[in-house]
Amino acid sequence: MVRARDLFATVMLSGIYGLLSASFFILMDAADVAFTEAAVGAGIFPLLMLTVLTSVGRYEAERRRVRYLPLFVMVVLAGALFAAVLQMPPFGAVDAPSHGHVAQRYIQDSPAEIGIPNMVTSVLASYRGFDTLGEVVVIFTAAVGVVVILLGGRPKTPQQSTQALMAEHKVLRVVGKMLIPLILLFGLYVQFHGEYGPGGGFQAGVIFAVGIILYAMLFGLSNAQRVVPLGVLRWLVALGVLIYGSVGLANLVVGGEYLNYSMLASDPVTGQHIGIILIELGVGITVASAMVLIFFAFTRATRSRDELEE
């Protein structure tokens, strides 16, 4: 990846790298992390990078020289990292502090306290639910930032119809038509199955967004924007955060702490269920619309520059 001068190859290699790390995570029994890495690292990241390449060109403009100071810093850093990692408890060690202290309660008590089989979801959505709210806001911030920088504030759906990126590929269009409903359906499955298996709002949002982005690539931006206009996306990306945040506020009203879902129903475990389903919905909405928004912003920015040059 570092040596490649062809940026297209770099992007493809990073996609492969994402897929490989996902496999590593599977081997380490971290199915949720693997799922996220597969959806983000091997899915949406190369897609967005390819869109960037359409505006910056495929090849590096300048040949790089080796710079010795950064190289030296990197070597020292890598050395320090290796020296440190060697002292970390071995993988899977029973007596590792990270298994003994806080994690123990998550493993032993979460079935009784939260009542869902996927402990990762329990930790993410309830025990550390405020971190997850923060992560959703990070994605929201990124989307707002990208849109304002590339589109200059208020996005408007263009009137003229534009040619699709891959309009001439008949086979792709037919296969795409068959696959897109399945992708969207799978996204919904991942969304609502997050309590029981690997998955949840983040992965579902990304998968859902990939379905729409695929549609935009095959059938043209204006068609895709007729399905999801930019104004609606802007609204949705905020809505997801607000849903998540309002669940927290609702908890305050009924007398619990912020994001303490137990008060939402007479039975604490049912309350946890309701809370988790609602906040995961918020996560899914914001992530999906943020990804689509970022993709649209990139394509629109490229498009308008091409028009200027013509």
Residue type, 279: I
Q: Which of 4, 235, 254, 304 binds other proteins (CB under 8 A)?
A: 235
Binding mask 85-124 for other proteins (x = CB under 8 A): -xxxx------xxxxxxxx-xx------------------
Strand partners, 6: 59
Q: Which of 9/138 has CB closer to other proteins?
A: 138
Contact indicator for 212, 114 with CB cutoff of 8 Å: no
x/- string (CB under 8 A) for other proteins, residues 147-186?
xxx--xxx--------------------------------
Phi/psi at 38 (nearest 5 deg)? -65, -45
State the Cα–Cα distance between residues 139 and 289, nearest whole angstrom. Answer: 10
| Sign of the dihedral defined by the CA atoms of residues 208, 301, 40, 278, in that order | negative
Closest separation in Å from C-beta 99 to other proteins: 7
Residue 225 engages other proteins in binding (rule: CB under 8 A): no
The residue type of 184 is L
**Residue placing its CB nearer to other proteins in the complex, 114 or 164:** 114
DSSP symbol at 263: G
Q: What is the largest CA-CA distance in the chain?
A: 66
- Asked if residue 144 binds other proteins (CB under 8 A), the reply is yes
Tell whether residue 134 is a contact of other proteins (CB under 8 A): yes
d(CA 55, CA 127): 43
Nearer to other proteins, 93 or 175 (CB): 93
User: At closest approach, how far in Å is the CB of 305 from other proteins?
Assistant: 14
Is residue 129 close enough to count as binding other proteins by CB under 8 A?
Answer: yes
Q: Identify whether the C-beta of residue 200 lies closer than 8 Å to the C-beta of residue 283.
A: yes
Which of 10, 203, 225, 262 contacts other proteins by CB under 8 A? 262
Residue 256 binding other proteins, by CB under 8 A:
yes
CA dihedral 9, 12, 17, 20 (to 10 degrees): -130
* Dihedral over Cα of 127, 129, 131, 132: its sign: positive
Pick the stretch among 32-40, 60-68, 80-88, 212-220 that binds other proteins (CB under 8 A): 80-88
Rounded (to 5) percent helix, strand, coil in the chain: 75, 0, 25
Taking the least distance from each CB to other proteins, the nearer of 96 and 183 is 96
Q: How far is the C-alpha of 228 from the C-alpha of 159, rounded, in Å?
A: 14
Stretch that binds other proteins, among 29-37, 137-145, 196-204, 301-309 (CB under 8 A): 137-145
Output the smallest distance, CB 148 to other proteins, in A.
4
The residues of the shown chain that bind other proteins, judged by CB under 8 A, are: 80-81, 83-84, 86-89, 96-103, 105-106, 126-131, 133-135, 137-138, 140-142, 144-145, 147-149, 152-154, 234-235, 237-239, 241-242, 245-246, 248-249, 252, 256-262
